């Protein structure tokens, strides 16, 4: 079992250095686009290059985030960006979009791909599908419980990564429309405006009240680290790419202490780790979604869900300045945030100047009014001031050297019981390494392709490294480790001599050829029949009625599968599918990736993608068609231009979500308010409990125009006759999805 990795966030190079210097095994970081924290500082290419060089010098790892949904018109830009990043030799790409997974596997096969929590993988069937997609590590949905995690770990063929600390999204990952619905700022595109942190008005325990009904406490797992370690979890991930280096330093120190703690010192080290973590300025701690009891207390609706330490209050706003009365000492260099009492996200800034009675001051005095220069956005007069970081100086890393890659050598290895042959296209002429062998048949564990590939990866040279290694093995063979090591060493000694004379660099623009040659071919879209999730009375003659798989249905219906199915519920769902197929049902609606694995054994099924399964580009459709998808549903967030581009490029027929009231947010956490709620602007919503999930629905019904050549989907499951007189919402149709 490999050593469990401690993985830290890096919003910039200074945070990455703070993570490594305090014990992180790896960091994850992103460039300015195509990552789930686009509103953060992020890296530029040179800083990412410095990160790569520094990580390799230390023998640490770094992963690059490409974890957002990608529009059809952006796929080549993502490939171009990935090409530059691949040259820095990251230890993996973290992705959300299944189309990006396909593109990376095609164009950059040497870089491992990790499935982001945004993919919504939450059970063993999801992990198996990820394996089929060429993903090497799955970052599980944060709403997987501890018991479910143990069951998944017991059968997982892939590395599993889990979040252990930091801010929590209330919604199931990858399916939240809340921020996008409130103004086009999509959380699935790295632009979340965090409407879940705002104050709402509704009914709790029969009484009308206001509160933060979707604002979760922060995740904390210090006391769970020994359990994760014993399970064999591959990577423990700290959230916080929007945080500063002081947060990264303290969280890494605390979790490093617990991860390395021997059994007899767990109690002692837990106290030390808690003391370290207390200065990280987060929200109130919780175990997140770990247990049934945790779900009941995760949302404390009476408390403002703000990170940081309350240090004062704005009591006057003047042109060019604000007056703050501090309740605690703050110093120049501290990181502060001014928070609206409604819960709306306020501006954050570093304190560089302050004045007491008109005189320059280096620190505040408790109970005294301090003047701060202010030329930023308007502020409410009673805004609360929180400290979210301390005045500390960290190495910016700007003087670190850039990464200089070694020459890459691709290898082809052929192994039989009688000989080993290796050649390389990077060597001119007819170079071939050949060794006669006399290998026996393996009785138990034969040499695998991955083991042989790994053996030949180590060149022991700073100037030459293995690139893509193609392996072919004939038969189940036993290859003594000592003999294999000796032959590998002899091979590299011979190869390097030839390479220094006859090396042919691999074409750095080869990805363009691969991208062009594997670009999905647009299909001939056939409109087909419309689908309706509705009472029978609302159907037209040519419509196909959609029914829930756990409700009454006939063989002519199309069955909707649940978008969230915990590990313990998989047997029940598999039994329901088997019964439906036995009754003659051939049409199913796929709402989550795991369902493609679940239905894999059945032939001749008609599978239609349905919200919240995202299909945003033709590469994603092409990838999902490998697993039986018959029809793609255009992603509900797309604006008119992007949706039309998608329809034109899709290799499968496309369906448009024409009308309905889809869930904006779905969560296992107990939402204290149910029924109708409203925000401070008068916008209405409805909270409903459906099985094990609480779901939030918008007050307005979505309505989209039909598209030529596309079938339509009408979801009337959460509409009524009263909606006929209400205005409809076209969502992002007539505005850009950001």
| Domain locations in the chain as residue ranges | 5-168+218-288, 309-389, 407-510, 520-661+700-729
**657 near 591, Cβ under 8 Å?**
no
User: Which residue has 């175990």 as its token pair?
Assistant: 287
Q: What are the distances in angstroms from CA 341 to CA 336, 382, 383, 403, 423?
A: 16, 8, 6, 46, 67
Question: What is the second-level CATH architecture of the domain 5-168+218-288?
Answer: Alpha-Beta Barrel (3.20)
Asked if residue 419 has pLDDT above 70, the reply is yes
pLDDT band, very low/low/confident/very high, at 392 (cuts 50, 70, 90): low
Q: List Cβ neighbours of 29 (8 Å cut-off, separation of 6 or more).
A: 9, 10, 11, 16, 42, 43, 48, 51, 62, 63, 64, 65, 241
One fold for 5-168+218-288 and 309-389: no
Which residue shows structure tokens 């307005």? 700
| CATH superfamily to which 309-389 belongs | Translation factors (2.40.30.10)
Output DSSP code: residue 536. Answer: G
Query: Which has the closest alpha carbon to 241: 54, 62, 4, 52?
Result: 62
The 3-state secondary structure of 312-366 reads EEEEEEECCEEEEEECCCCECCCEEEEECCCCCCCCEEECCCCEECCEECCECCC
Chain segment 605-620, per-residue pLDDT in tens: 999 999 999 999 999 9
Q: Residue 628 in contact with residue 141, Cβ under 8 Å?
A: no
The distance of Cα 579 from the centroid of its chain, to the nearest Å, equals 34
The model's confidence at residue 506, banded by pLDDT at 50, 70 and 90, is: low
pLDDT in tens, 79-129: 999 999 999 999 999 999 999 999 999 999 989 999 999 999 999 999 999
DSSP secondary structure letter of residue 140:
-
**CA quadruple 630, 631, 636, 639: dihedral positive or negative?**
positive
Torsion of the alpha carbons at 577, 580, 582 and 583, rounded to the nearest 10: 180
pLDDT at 305 over 70: no
Right CATH for 520-661+700-729 from 3.20.20.70, 3.40.190.10, 3.50.50.60, 3.40.1180.10: 3.20.20.70
Q: Given this model, what pLDDT does residue 172 score?
A: 97
536 has pLDDT over 60: no
Separation between Cα atoms, residue 174 and residue 57, nearest integer Å = 35
Three-class HEC string of 634-646? ECCCCCHHHHHHH
Q: Are 351 and 386 in contact (CB under 8 A)?
A: no
What is the structure's pLDDT at 738? Answer: 66
C-alpha–C-alpha distance, residues 713 and 9, integer Å: 40
Residue 714's contacts (CB-CB under 8 Å, 6 or more residues apart) are: 530, 531, 532, 533, 534, 538, 658, 659, 660
Query: Mean pLDDT across the stretch 704-723?
Result: 87
CA dist., res. 303 & res. 10, Å (int): 29
Q: Is 60 exceeded by the pLDDT of residue 1?
A: no
What is the residue-averaged pLDDT of the chain? 91
Q: Are 440 and 418 in contact (CB under 8 A)?
A: no
Flag the least confident range among 99-113, 370-384, 640-654. 370-384
Q: By the 8 A CB rule, do 613 and 591 touch? A: yes
Q: Which residues contact 162 (CB under 8 A, 6 or more apart)?
A: 139, 140, 144, 149, 228, 233, 235, 236, 237
Quick one: average pLDDT of 428-432?
81
- Residue 515 φ/ψ, nearest 5 degrees: -60, -45
409 phi, psi to nearest 5 deg: -125, 120
Q: What is the average per-residue pLDDT within 154-162?
A: 96
Per-residue model confidence (pLDDT) at position 30: 93
Q: How many residues does the chain have?
A: 738
Residue keyed to tokens 């957002």: 68
Quick check: helix, strand or coil at residue 517?
Answer: helix
């Amino acid at each position: 079992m490999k050593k469990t990795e401690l993985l830290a966030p890096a919003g910039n190079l200074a945070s990455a250095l703070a993570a490594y210097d305090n014990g992180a095994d790896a960091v994850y970081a992103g460039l300015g686009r195509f990552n789930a924290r686009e509103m953060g500082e992020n890296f530029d290419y040179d800083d990412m290059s410095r990160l790569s060089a520094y990580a390799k010098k230390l023998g640490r790892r770094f992963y690059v985030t490409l974890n957002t949904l990608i529009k059809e018109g952006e796929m080549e830009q993502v490939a171009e960006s990935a090409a530059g990043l691949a040259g820095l030799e990251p230890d993996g790409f973290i992705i959300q979009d299944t189309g990006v997974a396909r593109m990376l596997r095609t164009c950059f096969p040497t870089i491992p791909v990790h499935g982001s929590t945004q993919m919504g993988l939450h059970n063993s069937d999801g992990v198996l599908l990820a394996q089929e997609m060429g993903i090497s590590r799955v970052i599980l949905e944060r709403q997987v419980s501890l018991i479910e995690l143990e069951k998944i770990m017991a059968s997982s063929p892939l590395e599993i990564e889990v979040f252990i600390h930091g801010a929590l999204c209330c919604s199931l990952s990858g399916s939240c429309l809340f921020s996008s619905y409130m103004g086009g700022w999509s959380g699935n595109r790295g632009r979340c405006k965090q409407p879940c942190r705002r104050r709402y008005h509704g009914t709790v325990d029969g009484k009308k009240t206001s509160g933060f009904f979707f604002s979760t406490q922060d995740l904390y797992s210090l006391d769970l680290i020994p359990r994760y370690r014993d399970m064999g979890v591959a990577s423990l991930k700290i959230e916080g790419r929007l945080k500063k280096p002081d947060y990264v330093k303290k969280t890494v120190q605390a979790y490093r202490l617990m991860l390395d703690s021997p059994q007899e010192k767990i109690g002692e080290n837990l106290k030390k780790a808690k003391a370290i973590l207390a200065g990280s300025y987060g929200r109130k701690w919780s175990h997140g979604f770990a247990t049934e009891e945790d779900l009941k207390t995760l949302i404390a609706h009476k408390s403002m869900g703000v990170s940081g330490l309350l240090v004062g209050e704005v009591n006057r706003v003047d042109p060019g300045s604000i007056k703050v009365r501090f309740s605690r000492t703050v110093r120049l260099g501290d990181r502060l945030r001014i928070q609206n009492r409604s819960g709306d996200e306020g501006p954050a800034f570093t304190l560089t100047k302050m004045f007491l009675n008109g005189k320059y001051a280096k620190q505040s005095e408790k109970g005294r009014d301090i003047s701060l220069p202010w030329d930023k956005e308007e502020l409410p007069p009673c805004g609360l001031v929180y400290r979210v970081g301390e005045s500390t100086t960290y190495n910016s890393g700007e003087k670190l050297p850039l990464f200089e890659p070694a020459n890459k050598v691709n290898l082809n290895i052929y192994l039989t019981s009688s000989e080993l042959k290796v050649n390389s296209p990077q060597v001119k002429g007819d170079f071939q390494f050949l060794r006669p062998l006399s290998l026996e048949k393996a009785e138990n564990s034969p040499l695998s392709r991955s083991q042989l590939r790994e053996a030949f990866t180590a060149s022991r040279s700073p100037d030459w490294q293995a690139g893509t290694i193609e392996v072919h093995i004939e038969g189940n063979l036993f290859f003594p480790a000592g003999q294999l090591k000796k032959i590998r060493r002899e091979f590299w000694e011979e190869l390097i001599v030839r390479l220094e004379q006859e090396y042919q660099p691999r074409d750095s623009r080869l990805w363009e050829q691969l991208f062009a040659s594997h670009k999905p071919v647009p299909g001939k879209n056939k409109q087909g029949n419309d689908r309706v999730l509705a009472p029978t009375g609302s159907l037209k003659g040519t419509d196909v009625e959609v029914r829930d798989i756990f409700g009454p249905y006939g063989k002519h219906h199309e069955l909707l599968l649940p978008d969230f199915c915990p590990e313990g519920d998989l047997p029940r769902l598999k039994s329901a599918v088997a019964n439906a197929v036995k009754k003659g049902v051939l049409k199913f609606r796929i709402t989550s990736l795991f369902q493609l694995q679940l239905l894999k054994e059945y032939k001749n099924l008609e599978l239609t993608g349905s919200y919240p399964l995202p299909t945003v580009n033709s590469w994603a459709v092409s990838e999902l068609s490998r697993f039986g998808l018959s029809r793609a549903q255009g992603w509900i967030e797309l604006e008119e231009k992007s949706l039309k581009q998608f329809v034109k490029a899709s290799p499968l027929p496309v369906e448009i979500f024409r009308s309905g009231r889809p869930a904006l947010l779905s969560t296992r956490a107990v939402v204290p308010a149910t029924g109708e709620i409203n925000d401070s602007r008068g916008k209405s919503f409805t909270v409903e409990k459906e099985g094990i999930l609480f779901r939030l629905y918008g007050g307005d019904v979505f309505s989209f125009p039909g598209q030529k050549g596309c079938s339509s989907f009408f979801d009337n499951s959460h509409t009524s006759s009263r909606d006929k007189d209400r205005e409809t919402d076209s969502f992002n149709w007539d505005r850009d999805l950001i």
